[in-house]
Structure 1
Amino acid sequence: MSDETPDDEKPNIDLGPLPDLPRKKGRRKRVVPEHERMKKGSPEWDEHMRRIGRKKGDPKVPGSGRKATPKETKEWLSGKSLDVAKLLYDIAFDDTVAAKDRIKAAMWVAEMSIAKAPTQSEVKVSHSHTIADMLAEINSMRLTDNSKTIDLTAKSVEDAVFVPVPGEDK
C-alpha cells in the first residue's frame, strides 16, 4: 500500500487568515490631500517659489560645490599608478574575467598608452596692414556677397588741430 492518496482524497487544510507583511523601515510617505495638490499646481504657488528660491546673482552657498582632493591623497595615489596600470593590464588579458570588464580594462590601458592623433593648426598673424587696406578688403568682401555695399574710405587727419582737455595729464 502506498503513502500517496489520490487528488480527490487529499485532506483540505485551512490556513486561516494570512499574517500582515512586516512594515518597511524608513520614512513613511505623507498622503497629500487634494486641496494641497491643487494649491501647489497654481500660478500663485509658482510665483511664491520664485520669490523664495535662489535668484540670479545670489552668492554661492558656503560649503556647497565639489570638495578639493587633499594634497596628501594626490601624492599617495600618484605612487600607486603603476600598480593600477598592472592590475588593469592583468584584467584585460585574464580569460576568467567577464568580457565586458576585460574590454573596459583594455580601453583604459589603450587610452593611457596610445598617443592621440595630433592636430596641426597654423596661425599666421601679420601686423603690417593699414586701416585703408582693411577697409578696402571689407569693401571687396561685401561686393562678392551681393549684399548692400557701404563705401568705406580712410581719410587723412594730418591737418587736424588737437585741443587739450582741461584736467588731462600731458
Structure 2
Amino acid sequence: MITMVAAIAENNALGKDNDLLWHLPDDFKRFKQITSGHYIIMGRKTFESFPKPLPNRTHVIITRQKNYHPEGCIIVDSMEKAIEACPKDETIFIIGGGEIYTLGMDFADTIELTRVHENFEADTFFPEIDNTKWKLTSEEHHPADERHKFNFTYQTFLKSI
C-alpha cells in the first residue's frame, strides 16, 4: 500500500521557502507515529528541509541531480524507481513536496491529510483531491489551543477507483 501524508491549508498550501507554514506539535507526533519503521519517499528539497534524516525510517529521495548522495539514503530519479526501491509487502509513505505529491497521486491508495483551517501565502501546494477518485472515510477535528495556533482536522481519503 502507498500512503501520502501531508499537512495542508484550506488553499492547499504546503510551504514557503522550503519551510512549513505552521507549528502543530500533535501533527508532528502523528506523522512520526504513522511513518516510523517505514520507507518514506520524498523530493530532494523536502529532505534538505530536515535538520537531519528522520530517525527509524528509510529515506528514498527523488532528484534529477546526478551527484546527490546523502549518507544512508536511497537516491532515484523517478516515482516508479522510488516505489521499486521499497519493500512490496509493506506500507510506504510519500511525504512531499508539492511536485512529488503530484507524481504520487496516481500511485497512492490512501491520503492521510492534516487540513489546517486557514489560508496561507505559499510557493508549494498539494494537488487538488479529485472527489470522483477519492473518498473521505474519516475525520477528526482538533480545535486551536495553547500549543496549536490553528484549528485542524485529520482526514483519511481512500482511492475509490
Could you tell me the TM-score, scaled by structure 1's length?
0.14
Bigger Rg over Cα: 1
Could you tell me the TM-score, scaled by structure 2's length?
0.15
Comparing both structures, which one devotes a greater share of its residues to strand? Answer: 2
